Amino acid sequence: MDIAISLNTNSLPLHQQLYEQLRAYILTGKLPPGTRIPSTRAMAKSLNISRSTVTQSYEQLLSEGYLETVIGSGTYVCTQLPDDLLHSKPVELGFGTGKDAHSTRVRLSQYGKILADTENVPRVHEGKEEMSFRYGRPAFNEFPIKLWRSLLSQYCSASLNWLDYSIEPLGYKPLRGAIANYISRARAVNCTPEQILITNGTQQALDLIMRLLIEPDNTIALEDPGYLSARLIFQTHGAKLLPIPVDDNGLIVSKLENYSNQDIRLVYVTPSHQFPTGAVLSLPRRLELLAWATQTGALIIEDDYDSEYRYGDRPIPALQGLDKSESVLYIGTFSKVLFPSLRIGYLVLPQNLVPIFTRAKWLSDRHLPILEQQVLTEFIEQGHLERHIRKMRSIYDRRRQVLFQALYSHFGEKVTVFGDKAGLHIMVHLQTHLSENEIIERAASFGVGMMSASTQYLIPTCKNEFIFGYGELNEQQLIEGIRRLKTALNTNVFKSI
C-alpha cells in the first residue's frame, strides 16, 4: 500500500513528522481501522530513511493505541481506537471554515490569511428543497445529451492525440476560431482567435487577471450590488474595493469621477445583465465608461455571463466592440448556455497582454482538457450551439413570464420585480414584516429554496430582496413554488402600504 508522506529535513525530527502524518491519516479515516500498514523495512525504503526512524514512529503509534501488531501477520490500524480519539472532533475536510486554517502550524501567505478570514465563501448549494429558486443552474433536462455523447465518443476514438499535453496553452485553436466567429457575430466583439484565452470558466479568467494586473492595495471599482464570487477574488488578492452604485441603467459611471484622486486599476462590470439587479448598461453609459477608462488608464473587466438570453429588446453590443483604446478585458462562459461543469470560459485580451496571460495559464494549470474543447468546437461549428440557445431562449422566456405572473397574482403590490428583460433570474423585493431569514426558513419548511440578494451587497442598502432563478424549474414547478411561498408567508404578515 502506498501512503503519501512528505518529510522535510528543515523542520521537526523525521520520526515525529512520520508519526504526525500517519496519526492524521488515521484520525481523518483515510487509513480506516483494520488497514495494514507497510512494514518498517518497506516504509523506510520508500521514504529513503533509516529503519530505526520508522520503528520509532510506529512504536509511538503502537503505545498510544493507534496501531496494533498481529504476530506473524503485520501492523494494522487499531480496530478499536481509544475512546478519547473516537470522541475527538473529526479533522475537517473540504471547505471547512477559514478559522481552521489559522489553527494549523502552516504559515499562510497573505492570500491564504485573507481567505481564512473571509466569511461567506459561496459554494454550490446542495438543494435539498423540492423546488429551488436559487440562482445559477440552467435547465439540464433540455440539454442535447445524446448529441454531446455521440460527439464525445466520436472524438474519443478518432485519434489518441487528445491524451497528450496540448501545445496550445491559449486553448484548442479551432475552438478559439469558432468562439471568435461566434462572439464577433452575436456580440459585436472585435477580436481574432489569437486574442482568445480559453479558461476554466469566468472564475479562472478573473483569477489570472488578479495575478497579473493587481498588487495588494491596488484599487478596483465594482458594481454594488455585484457578483460575490468576483468580489471575493478581488478581495483575497488584497485589492481595495470601491463600491459603485447601480440604477436602472446599470453602473452609475459618473460616480467614478468622484474618485479622481484614486488610482483605479480595474472596473468590474456586467453590462449586458447587471448581476444581480438585471439592469442593462445603457449605450450612453457604455460610451461614458469607455471614455473614462481611456482618460484614466484603467482597464474594464466586462463579464458577459448570460448575454445570450435577452427577451424583447435588441442586444446592445458588447463594450469590448465599442472600445477604441484596448481598455476592455472581455469574459464569456459556457456555464449558462451549456452547463457549468464543462468549466469552459474565454477571456478576450488586448493583443499586448496575450503573451503574459499565455505564460500564466501554462504555469497555473497547463490547459483545459482537449477532448471537451474538440467536442465544443464541433458543437459550435455545426450550428448546435446557436440552435440550443434559440430553443432555450424561448423556454426561459416562457418561464420568466410564468414566474412574473405567479408573483403578481399571489403578492400583488407587495412585490416588486427588477431586471426581467434578460438572463435566467429576476430580483424580487418582498414587502413584509418578516426578516429575510424568517422568509427563507418558512419557505424551506414548504420545500421551497430561496436565495437572499444581501450577500451581493458591499454596502447593505436593501432588505428582503431575493434572487429568483427560473432556469431549472418548469412552468408547473414555478407556479407551485410561488403558491407554496405565499402559503408559507401567509398574507396577514404583509405590510399594508
Ligand X SMILES: Cc1ncc(COP(=O)(O)O)c(C=O)c1O
What span, in angstroms and rounded, lies between the C-alpha atoms of 244 and 241? 9
Per rule CB under 6 A, is residue 296 in the interface with ligand X?
no
In the set 57, 272, 296, 335, which binds ligand X (CB under 6 A)?
A: 335
Contact 243, 262 (CB under 8 A): no
User: Whole-number minimum distance, CB 209 to ligand X, in Å?
Assistant: 13
Q: How many residues bind ligand X (CB under 6 A)?
A: 13
Q: Which is nearer to ligand X, 47 or 392 (CB)?
A: 392
What span, in angstroms and rounded, lies between the C-alpha atoms of 174 and 367? 15
Phi (first) and psi of residue 337, to 5 degrees: -80, -25
- Furthest C-alpha separation in the chain: 83
In the set 223, 302, 303, 323, which binds ligand X (CB under 6 A)?
A: 303
Quick one: DSSP state of residue 366?
S
In the chain the first and final C-alpha atoms are separated, in Å, by 70
Using only C-alpha atoms, what is the Rg of the chain?
27
Site track for ligand X across 211-230, x = CB under 6 A: ----------------x---
User: Whole-number minimum distance, CB 476 to ligand X, in Å?
Assistant: 25
What span, in angstroms and rounded, lies between the C-alpha atoms of 427 and 277? 6
**Which residue has cell 470601491?**
242
Q: Which is nearer to ligand X, 333 or 432 (CB)?
A: 333
Q: Angle at CA 93, nearest 5°, toward 87 and 96?
A: 95
Q: Angle at CA 314, nearest 5°, toward 425 and 224?
A: 45
Burial of 346 (0-12, 13-18, 19+ CB in 10 A): buried
Q: Which is nearer to ligand X, 140 or 165 (CB)?
A: 140
Q: Which is nearer to ligand X, 169 or 276 (CB)?
A: 276
| Candidate ranges 96-104, 199-207, 214-222, 383-391; the one touching ligand X (CB under 6 A) | 199-207
Binding to ligand X, residues 89-148 (CB under 6 A): 136
User: Whole-number minimum distance, CB 169 to ligand X, in Å?
Assistant: 19
Tell me if residue 285 falls in helix, strand or coil. Answer: helix
| Candidate ranges 180-188, 322-330, 332-340, 469-477; the one touching ligand X (CB under 6 A) | 332-340
Q: Is 369 left (phi over 0), alpha (psi -120 to 50) or beta?
A: beta
33: preceding bond cis by omega (within 30 degrees): no
In the set 201, 271, 321, 471, which binds ligand X (CB under 6 A)?
A: 201
User: Whole-number minimum distance, CB 240 to ligand X, in Å?
Assistant: 21
Q: Which is nearer to ligand X, 134 or 399 (CB)?
A: 134
Phi (first) and psi of residue 458, to 5 degrees: -85, -45
Site track for ligand X across 154-193, x = CB under 6 A: ----------------------------------------
Q: Which is nearer to ligand X, 40 or 203 (CB)?
A: 203
Q: Which is nearer to ligand X, 198 or 407 (CB)?
A: 198
**Which residue has cell 461614458?**
288
Per rule CB under 6 A, is residue 333 in the interface with ligand X?
yes
In the set 190, 202, 219, 307, which binds ligand X (CB under 6 A)?
A: 202
Binding to ligand X, residues 339-358 (CB under 6 A): 340, 345
Which of 162, 136, 167 has its CA nearest to residue 378? Answer: 162
Site track for ligand X across 256-275, x = CB under 6 A: --------------x----x
Q: Which is nearer to ligand X, 155 or 305 (CB)?
A: 305
Which of 215, 220, 245 has its CA nearest to residue 232? Answer: 220
Q: Which three cell numbers stand for residue 474?
A: 418548469
Q: Angle at CA 255, nearest 5°, toward 249 and 260?
A: 145
What span, in angstroms and rounded, lies between the C-alpha atoms of 265 and 281? 21
User: Whole-number minimum distance, CB 402 to ligand X, in Å?
Assistant: 22
Burial of 474 (0-12, 13-18, 19+ CB in 10 A): middle
Q: Which is nearer to ligand X, 77 or 344 (CB)?
A: 344
| Candidate ranges 197-205, 237-245, 381-389, 454-462; the one touching ligand X (CB under 6 A) | 197-205
Per rule CB under 6 A, is residue 75 in the interface with ligand X?
no
| Candidate ranges 137-145, 152-160, 201-209, 487-495; the one touching ligand X (CB under 6 A) | 201-209
Q: Which residue is nearest to ligand X (CB)?
A: 201
Q: Which residues bind ligand X (CB under 6 A)?
A: 136, 201-203, 227, 270, 275, 303, 305, 333, 335, 340, 345
